[in-house]
Every structure is written in structure tokens, then in C-alpha cells.
Amino acid sequence: MKVLVVDDQRAICTALEVLFELHGIETLVADGPAQVLDLIAREDIGVVVQDMNFTANRTTGEEGVALFRAIRALDGDLPVLLMTAWTSLETVVALIKEGAVDYVAKPWDDHKLVTTVKQLLQLRELGHENMRLRARSRRARQSLAAGHDLCGLVYSSEVMHAVVSLAVSVAPSEAPILITGPNGAGKEKLAEIVQANSRRRDKPFVKVNAGGLPDDLLEAELFGAEVGAYTGATRAREGKFEAADGGTLFLDEIGNLSLTAQMKLLRVLETGRFERLGSNHERQVAVRVISATNADLRAMIRAGAFREDLYYRLNTIEIRVPPLADRADDILPLAQHFLAPGKRLTADARAALRHHAWPGNVRELKNALQRAALLTEGPEISAADLALPAAAPAAPPEELDRPAVEAALARAGGVVAQAAAELGLSRQALYRRMEKLGIPRE
């Protein structure tokens, strides 16, 4: 990548060209605005170092402002470093608010200028690499969605792509699947994806909260009951296993089952046979079982609270759904998906969403968006409208480490204002953090 120097004073262009070339930075020069846009369109420009004052209007900087805005219109991600000896500070500050990365006063400090330009070039390259990776990831997601039924799942993160890829790859098998992960993370949605891409996709898909009922009612729920089997049983009742015959049974909250219920479930999983409550007539079903839990079943086994033989019967294949905090790239796409028609998120709302810890995961995010939509009258939803707990951010600004800041700058293509908004900081706060971490200003 090259740096483009724009200045109407040939001596300055030559001095900067020599300075940058001495430090291994390939440089192009333009003596005025007329050549700039053509060079940006034709060359691999990574940074523009732009004078603000040209001969036609030496003191006001009007040409410099116009040129900066033209560059932004052509390539909004291209870092522009302003250079001036005359333009008022107010003009420079206004352009920084519009997206200029910083300004350098003439005469400049060679070391500081070279360091800043190198950093900007590195960030630009990182930004391009990030865009290439994102494009590749997007193509992979599109390919997966084109060949499989993802049941409307919204995601953007690499970690979730790996989870979904595993789900669709094992879906055609008949193997029992155990889906683990925290409450609200999307375990049921993943079970739906497995079913939708299985050979049983056109057969029943029956869901039951396996830990939500006491043992006597759970037995009737799973296996059915005859008339008079229990108080109030005035008619024969088909159980979930019968209803799912030929298809798939999704047993949610499997970790909440009592040991008695676990023993009864194990028998039907081993044999496919069971009896309705109050009957001695044995029934046979062919059911694929997908189970889910937020519990650590291995720890429960060690504690004697979960049968090891049942665990291995359920867990031929395990799919773990990560918490939303571990897949931050999914937060904003999900938020847009849940956003009510006619509503839009402000920049501070997007930053607040990205930095909330989301202990309730996707379910909490959906509820937050629905609540905010109901409580706001206008079209915009701000961070205040979301009413997220003040202590919720997963990484408070004062704890941001160097990799986190550099990653945000890379995603923003070196645009500090954009990186600051993503990190939930003011531009000044981000500069202070960069200085503390030893990251040159850009």
C-alpha cells in the first residue's frame, strides 16, 4: 500500500516523499486536488496525507475541506491525515468529526509522522484482510444456507457458523444428539435445524420440557395414559413418544430429570418399547431423540445426580451452543432481526448492545428490543431506551486491552470515531486509552 501526499508546495511534497521512502513507505504525490481522486481510483492507496490550504484560498482551507469530502465520498474508509499551518482549529476539528483520522501541524515531527502513517497503513491492511475474511465467511454462510434449511437462524460469527455446520452435517444420521449451552442461547432452534435437515424432516417433531413436570405427570406426558390411570384421567391419552413415532422427539432440560424418571427414559431409549400409564400393553416406536440441557451432566454424574448410562445413550453427538457473549458478531444482526418495523438503532444503542454481557443470551436480547420498541414513541431506539443495567458491560472501557482496541481499529479501517463508537467510548476516551496502551494516534 502507498501513502498519497497532497500539497501545492513542491518542496513539502519532496520532503515528505523522501522521508517516507527512507522508512520503506512507497509514496505518491499530488500538487493539488485535481489529481487526487484519479490516483485513489487507480492506485493502492492506504493513507492520504492532505494539506488543507491551497493557493486559491491560502487561509480558509475551503479547498481542503472540499477535497476531504470528495475523498470520503469516493472511499469512506480511506484514512485521511490532515496537514495544516494556517487552517483554523475549528475547521480541522469539524473534519475530524466527519471522519478524518487526525491532523498534523506544520512543521511536523518526522518520527511522529512516520510512526502515525505506518500505523495507519497497517490498520488499513488489517481492515482489508478483515474484509476479505468477512467476505469469505459470508460466502460460507450463504453456501450453507443455500444448501440447507436453517429455520430462519440469524448469525454472523465464525463460532456459530461452526456450530451450525456441525448440526447440518450430523442431521442425516439417526444418532441421538445432545445440545448443551446456557439458557436462552438457541438450543431449541438448533434442534429444529437438525430435524429440518434430517431424513425425518417430514415426520413429526415433538417437543417436551423433560424436567418441567413431577415424575407421575412426566410419565403420562412421555408414555401416555389410559382412562383411570390417575385422578382426572377421563380419557386415554397419547404420550409424546407415540406422537413422535417415525419422527424426532426433542427433550429439553434433560438435566432436571429425577433419577426415577431417568431410569424409565433409559429403558425406552434402549428398546423403543414402553407401556402407557395404567396399561400392560407394550407399544413399539421408532423415534430419534434430541436432548438439550444447560447443566454440566458430567459433573452431575460425578455427584450421583445423573445416570452415566443414560448420558452415553443421549450423547452420541454433542453440539455446544456458545453464550451470546462469546459470539459478539451475532449481537447486531440479531438485534436488527428482532427490531420492530419502523424502528432503528442509534449509534450509542448499537455500542450498548455490543458491550452488554447478555447473561440471558439471545432471549434477553429479544426481550430488550421488544421492550424498547414498546416504550419509545419515535423511530429511534437509543441506549437509554434499552435500559440495560449499568454494570452489564462484559469489558468495561477501562479494562480494554491492546488487542481489543487494535481489533476495533482494524474493523473500522483506522477510523477512530467509528472504532470509538463500537467500543462505547468517546473519541477522546479512545485516544487516552490508546496512549496508555502505547498505540500511536491515528
Q: Where are the alpha helices (DSSP H) in 49-186?
A: 62-74, 89-98, 110-147, 158-170
Query: Which pLDDT score is estimated for 382?
Result: 93
325-337 residues labelled b (16+ CB within 10 A) or e (exposed): bbbbbbbbebbeb
Instruction: Examine the pLDDT at 288 and tell me if it is beyond 90.
Output: yes
Please give the average per-residue pLDDT across 264-275, as a whole number: 90
pLDDT in tens, 87-118: 566 777 788 888 888 888 888 889 989 988 99
Q: Which of 264, 211, 212, 257 is nearest to 241 (CA)?
A: 264
Dig out the grid coordinates for 307 from the structure: 445416570
Q: Distance (Å, rounded) from C-alpha 229 to C-alpha 52?
A: 88
- pLDDT score for 155: 94
Half-sphere exposure (Cβ direction) of 138: Cα atoms closer than 13 Å:
7
SS3 180: strand
Q: Binning pLDDT at 50, 70 and 90, where does residue 59 land?
A: low
Residue 55 pLDDT: 61
Model pLDDT for residues 348-374, shown as the tens digit of each residue: 999 999 999 999 999 999 999 999 999
**What pLDDT was estimated at residue 391?**
40
CATH topology of domain 2-126: Rossmann fold (3.40.50)
CATH 3.40.50.300 boundaries in the chain: 158-323
The pLDDT, as a whole number, for residue 9 is 85
Q: Express as a percent the part of the chain with pLDDT over 90.
A: 48
Note the pLDDT of residue 165. Answer: 96
Name the band, by pLDDT with cuts 50, 70 and 90, for residue 413: low
Phi, psi angles (nearest 5°) of residue 190: -65, -35
Average pLDDT, the chain: 86
For the domain made up of 158-323, give the CATH fold: Rossmann fold (3.40.50)
Predicted pLDDT at 397: 41
Report residue 181's pLDDT band, with 50, 70 and 90 as the boundaries.
Answer: very high
H or E segment and range at residue 271:
helix 259-271
Report H helices in 46-88.
Answer: 62-74
Q: How confident is the model at residue 60 (pLDDT cuts 50, 70, 90)?
A: low
Per-residue confidence (pLDDT) for residue 395, from 0 to 100: 41
Task: Provide the CB-side half-sphere exposure for 105 (13 A, CA).
Answer: 4
Residue span(s) of the chain under CATH 3.40.50.2300 come to 2-126
Q: Please state, for a pLDDT cut of 70, what percent of the chain lies above it.
A: 92
What would the grid cell of residue 87 be? Answer: 487552517
pLDDT confidence tier of residue 56, bands split at 50, 70 and 90: low
How many angstroms separate the CA atoms of 9 and 375, rounded? 57
| Domain 327-386 CATH assignment equals 1.10.8.60 | yes
pLDDT of residue 109: 86
Enumerate the CATH 1.10.8.60 domain ranges in the chain, comma separated: 327-386
Helix (H, G, I), strand (E, B) or coil at 314: helix
